[in-house]
């Protein structure tokens, strides 16, 4: 077969029954529709098997949860068995911005809701002390020393090195 954009002189193709679904020739728009269905919760495009696309969406969230847990081990460990569902609830309608930023955005949300405790809060404090991250752009290293509160701790970053100090008068956490 020689049909296609590389053979513009091939002449009109013989009439053929149209396949179901949107017409061909708009691959970019159709790919965008499919990605939106998978990562932003948009409707499944016509013609696709809704059950199978739903299974793919779930598998994608499971894979993303594993990738984020590798970047944010204490965040994931702190949530234990609730980690996959917590991450999925956060990520189901948000396209990934990379595992580092996805975990960071979730940690900030949980912190704002008062749900971040123990080593997971120290993990976030250490990142906040080391990097500038305003949410809209990729994080970049801080050039100046910084200090952030953890959970009964204070995290100090100086010349790129991070030190975690337990605050006086705070009961030592078990397991530390």
Of 45 and 118, CB closest to another protein: 45
Q: Give, as one character, the DSSP assignment of residue 144.
A: S
| Distance separating alpha carbons of residues 161 and 170, to the nearest angstrom | 24
Which tokens belong to 35? 């990605």
Of 44 and 107, CB closest to another protein: 44
Please give the residue ranges that form the binding site for another protein (CB under 8 A): 1, 3-6, 19-21, 24-25, 27-28, 30-32, 34-36, 38-40, 46-49, 52-53, 55-56, 58-60, 63-64, 66, 70, 95-97
Of 74 and 116, CB closest to another protein: 74
Distances (CA, A) of 68 to 52, 129, 132, 149: 24, 20, 19, 23
Closest CB 56 distance from another protein, rounded Å = 4
* Residues composing the chain: 176
Closest CB 164 distance from another protein, rounded Å = 24
């Amino acid at each position: 077969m020689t049909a296609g954009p590389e053979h513009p002189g091939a002449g009109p193709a013989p009439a053929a029954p149209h396949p179901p679904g949107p017409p061909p020739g708009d691959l970019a728009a159709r790919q965008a529709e499919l990605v939106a269905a998978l990562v932003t919760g948009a409707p499944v495009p016509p013609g696709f098997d809704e059950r199978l696309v739903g299974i793919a969406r779930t598998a994608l969230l499971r894979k993303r949860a594993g990738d984020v847990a590798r970047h944010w081990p204490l965040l994931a460990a702190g949530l234990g068995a609730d980690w996959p569902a917590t991450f999925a609830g956060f990520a189901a309608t948000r396209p990934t911005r990379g595992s580092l930023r996805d975990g960071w955005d979730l940690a900030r949300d949980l912190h704002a809701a008062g749900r971040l405790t123990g080593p997971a809060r120290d993990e976030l404090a250490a990142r906040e002390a080391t990097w500038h991250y305003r949410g809209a752009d990729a994080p970049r290293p801080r050039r100046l020393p910084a200090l952030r509160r953890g959970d009964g701790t204070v995290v100090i970053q100086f010349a790129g090195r991070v030190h975690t100090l337990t605050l006086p008068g705070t009961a030592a956490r078990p397991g530390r």
